[in-house]
Structures are given as C-alpha cells and as structure tokens.
Chain A
Amino acid sequence: MAEKPKEYWRWDEYNWRNPDIDWRKAKIITAGVDVGSVSSQAVIMADGELYAFANMRTGSDSPNSAINAMNWALEGTGMALSDINFTVGTGYGRVNVPFANKAVTEIACHARGANYMYGSTVRTVLDMGGQDCKAIRIDEKGKVVSFLMNDKCAAGTGRGMEVFANLLAVPIVEVGEMSLQVEEEPAPVSSTCVVFAKTEATGLLRDGWPKEKVLAAYCSAMAHRVISLLERNGVEKDFAITGGIGKNVGVVSRIEKELGLTALKPRYDTQIAGALGGALFAKALVEKGTKK
C-alpha cells in the first residue's frame, strides 16, 4: 500500500484558555475571528483581557473555518456563542464569518493586536502571513499610520516557506532552528519567484549543500525580500513581527540582523494578532454603543 506523503507544512493546531479569568464576572465579552488564507484564529476577550483563543488551519470553506475556530476557542469555557456581546471578523475571509457583527480589515486589526501584544511603544509591525506580507506603521494607540502590502507573490510569505519545508522534507516548525545550524552564512537564494527558488535549491542540493545551508540561504532571501517592503514604508522603533513567520527564528534573526533592530519578544502566539485586534475593536464598538 502506498504510504501517505508526509505533510511537512503542518503545525500544531491548538486552543488556549486563561484559567485565572472568570468570564462570568466580565461586563463585556468580545471576540475576533481572523480567517486567513492559510490559518484561522478565534480570540475571546473578557473586559479587554485575553481570555481564550484557538489557532487552526483554514479549510476550503471560509464560513466553516470561522465556525470551527470559534467553537474550539469556546470549548471547555462553558461560554456559548450567545454570551459574546460583539464579534469582529477580519482577515481575507472576513466577510464570510457568519456570526460576526462587523468586518474590519486585517491591517487595522493587526495594528491594534500588536499594540496589545507588544505594548504601546510599537511603531513598526511586520505581519508575515500565509499568503501575504504587510509592513505597517502604527501610533501609540495602535492606529495605522501607513502600510504597504504584498499579496501578489508567494516570496516572503508563509506559503513560500511551506514549499521549502516540503521540498527539503523538514517540518515547518523546525525550519528556523535548522537554518541557524550553519558555520558560515551562505549567499541568499537569488531567485525571487518561489517556483524558481525551488529549482535553484534543488541545484544547490545536487551540488552537495546540506539542508541546513539551503534553508539558511532561503531564510536569508526571505528576510531580504521583506526588508525592502519594510524600508519602503519606513521603519521606526519599536519593531515587532506578527503572523506565522514571526515564530521562525531563522527568518526573524536575519531580519533583525539586516535591519539592525531587535524585534520585541511576543507575549502570545504571533498568529493571533489579527483576531486579537478584532476582539479589541469589538470591545471599543460595544463601549461606543452603550454610551449613546
């Protein structure tokens, strides 16, 4: 029988809950659901404090992905969907969140979420998502000042990294660490296009390069690519990276090195920034509504 091909792009889907918070005592419960092109997150906040979240892969159907993520975040909390006062949908599938009260763009949500996750000193947010990459400048309140986005090309996105994880048969969560196990930093992969970079990498492997070195060359190419986006939008301290690639030390450390700036250490999963921002927007909207 044929063996099922390994899925090296797979990462652990999980949910999380803060055991110290009793949501029943909270006045306002809000949620943010970020349906991205690759992953979906649901975040629940109790009075503006992170209470629970779930992080999972987006399925082929956006509404289902939103519902699944939300149900998973609710799991074990004793909370029902109807207990949530307001839900904001965000991400590329934001209009497909059936239970959302409002949709907000992921740029605004990431900015807001980063402000919560990293504190009010953050001025530059780099969101490295599954199928896009955004450089966002924000103010002390987490409001967007300016942004630039690449959503046309897989270079510099999580999908690009998945292609490499599959090519080299390295689980995606190990790519970053592995890419740092080189004695000398190789020249970055020269092809911009992921399709061509793959061919280039195959050639490097044939030349006898170990996987570590090929990954180092690709992480470095990816860092280089997103830095040009960052610099066009302007870079100001403090700097933070959100999205899935924010967990890849191979890319993060190379961005830091080339930029000459250290990224703030995240308090939470970097992938939830968008949903978190959505939940914060939801809270602000509820407060605005009750003041009337």
Chain B
Amino acid sequence: MISVGVDVGNKFTKAVVLKDGQVISKSIVLSGFDQKQSANEAYDQAIKEAGISKNDVNYVLATGAGKKEVDFANDVVSEVGAGARGAVYFFPSGRTIIDVGAEDGRASKCDQNGKIVDFAVNEKCAAGAGSFSESMARALEVPLEEIGPLALQSNNVIYMNAQCTVFAESEVVSLIHAKTSKADISKAVHDAIAARIISMARRVGVEKDLVMIGGVGNNVGFLKALGDGLEIEVLVPDKPEYVCAIGAALIAAERN
C-alpha cells in the first residue's frame, strides 16, 4: 500500500511517500509562482527518492493553499485535517495543534484520532505568520535562520506597538536607532507573532498536549515565546514542515 501526500504551501511545496504507514521518502521545493509545476517537481523527486514508479502509487491526496493545482491528486484534504492527523501520528497525546506556515496560521483542537473538533485560521494578515519574522529578519539585517536563536539571548520584555508587518518593520528600524540590542528586538518580534497565535489558540481552547507543526516550528525563538505565553510545553516533531504532507498521506492510505 503506497500513498502520497502533497502539501502546496505558500512558500514551499512538500511531498511525502508512505509505504504501509511508514514514510519512505520526502521532498521539498520552492512553490514559486507556478504551483502546478512545483507540485509535479516535488512529486517526481519524492517518487525518485523512494525508488518506485508512479504506477505503484495507490492514492494521492493534496493539501495546502495550492491544493487545487495538484492535477495528479485523487482528491484534496483541508490543511487543518491533514495537519492534525500528521501531528497525532508523531504525538498521539496531541489535542491542540498549532500550524504556522509562511503566510498563514492555524490553531485546531482534535480528538485522539486526529479528527478536528474546532479550529481557527488566519490567512489574511502576515502578522502571525512566518513572513512576519522574515520581514523582521530583513529589517534587523540578520539571516532568517539566526533570528530565532538570537531571541533566546534576551530576557527583556519589549512590547511592539505595531501589529501590521509593514508598520512593525518601521518600528524595528526605530528600535535599532534607539540602540536596542538585536537580541531584545528579536525577542520582541517573536513575542508579537506568538501573541497573535496565542489569541487564536485561546479562541478554540488550549488543551494538553500542544503540538506545533509547520515551517515556523523550526524557529526556536517562536517556540519559546509560544510556550512561555501559554505556559505549556510545546511538542515539536522533527522537520515540522512535512507534517501536513504526512497527514495527507496517512489519510490517503485509508481512502484507498
């Protein structure tokens, strides 16, 4: 039984091949402007890496912002559905799932089977999504992968006034001019994104355990801010950016 999950995100497209419930290969490519093409690229790469042919695949499920562009998929599944399923695969005790990607954020509550009970989504505003930290890293002139670890060096609390990413960029520049340390600013930035996600999570209700998935799950600065803000332990699977694709592949295996 071979199933594939393809997650066409706003920034990256991920494909995962599952054989009898085990991940045998995964791939990631930039989504770019042609999502159809990137979905195909990711699929081809994952198939190649698995050492199988497309004819061996029983079922393909697509998810993510560009899920409808995946013309080779048998069906689509919602991002919340796929995310929760994937999260529970890694942490069966997961009941609250936080999924933060490049351009969106989701908080959902699920049961022990990864079935969604309630959820909230933000895909309208960059504050509270990965692009917020990207913009702030640019304003701080710090590489994106360093902004998270940098935040951990600070224990100072600075509140950012701006909510909007565009305004926050100017605020970061003002803070730099005011000689605020980059570590303090970085912490303030992550506290700000986390605050947006926390208010969304509280709307659906936070229950133990909490699992964080999506690309922003790689950002230690965000994870600390989220955990401190909610006063809860944040569980993160290895390579959290693949969890939605894995969830889709798991659901695909049942559909066959």
Chain A residues in the interface with B (C-beta under 8 A)? 37, 60, 131, 152-154, 159-160, 163, 191-196, 199, 202-203, 206-207
Contacts and interface: CB of A to CB of B under 8 A. Distances in A.
Interface of B: 10, 33, 103, 124-126, 131, 135, 163-167, 170, 174, 177
A207 B33 CA distance: 9
B171 to A, nearest CB: 10
Given A152-B163, A153-B163, A154-B166, A192 B33 contact: no
Contact of A192 (B10, B124, B170): B124
B126 A196 contact: yes
A232 B111 CA distance: 40
Nearest to A132: B167
Given A60-B174, A60-B177, A206-B33, A154 B164 contact: yes
Contacts of A60: 174, 177
A195 B164 CA distance: 9
A161 B35 CA distance: 28
A153 B164 contact: yes
Contact of B126 (A159, A193, A202): A193
Contacts, number: 44
7 contacts: A153-B164, A192-B125, A194-B165, A195-B135, A196-B124, A196-B131, A199-B10
B166 A159 contact: yes
Contacts of B163: 152-153
B131 A195 contact: yes
Given A195-B131, A203-B33, A131 B167 contact: yes
B124 A152 contact: no
A192 B104 CA distance: 13
Closest 4 CB pairs of A and B: A154-B166, A195-B126, A154-B164, A153-B164
Residue from the set A131, A153, A159 with the largest chain B CB neighbour count within 10 Å? A153
Contacts of B164: 152-154, 194
Nearest to B173: A60
Contacts of A154: 164-167
Contacts of B131: 195-196
B212 to A, nearest CB: 22
Contact of A193 (B33, B165, B174, B177): B165
B124 to A, nearest CB: 5
Contacts of A152: 163-164
A195 B125 CA distance: 8
Given A153-B164, A194-B126, A195-B126, 8 more contacts: A60-B177, A154-B165, A159-B170, A193-B126, A195-B131, A195-B135, A196-B103, A203-B33
B121 to A, nearest CB: 14
Contact of A195 (B33, B166, B174): B166
Nearest to A61: B177
A163 B33 contact: no
Contacts of A159: 166-167, 170
B125 A153 contact: yes
Contacts of B103: 196, 199
A152 B168 CA distance: 10
A178 to B, nearest CB: 22
Nearest to A206: B33
Contacts of A202: 33
Nearest to A191: B124
Contacts of A153: 125, 163-164
A62 B246 CA distance: 52
Contact of B166 (A160, A191, A207): A160
A134 to B, nearest CB: 16
Contacts of A191: 124
Nearest to B126: A195
Contacts of A196: 103, 124, 126, 131
Contacts of B170: 37, 159
Contacts of B126: 193-196
A131 B103 CA distance: 22
Contact of A163 (B125, B166, B177): B166
A193 B167 contact: no
Contacts of B166: 154, 159-160, 163, 194-195
Residue from the set B124, B165, B166, B174 with the largest chain A CB neighbour count within 10 Å? B166
A191 B33 CA distance: 15
A237 B135 CA distance: 41
Given A60-B174, A60-B177, A195 B165 contact: yes
Residue from the set A37, A160, A191, A195 with the largest chain B CB neighbour count within 10 Å? A195
A192 B122 CA distance: 12
Contacts of A194: 126, 164-166
B124 A193 contact: yes
A192 to B, nearest CB: 5
Contacts of B135: 195
A193 B170 CA distance: 16
Contact of B125 (A160, A193, A206): A193
B215 to A, nearest CB: 16
A202 B34 CA distance: 12
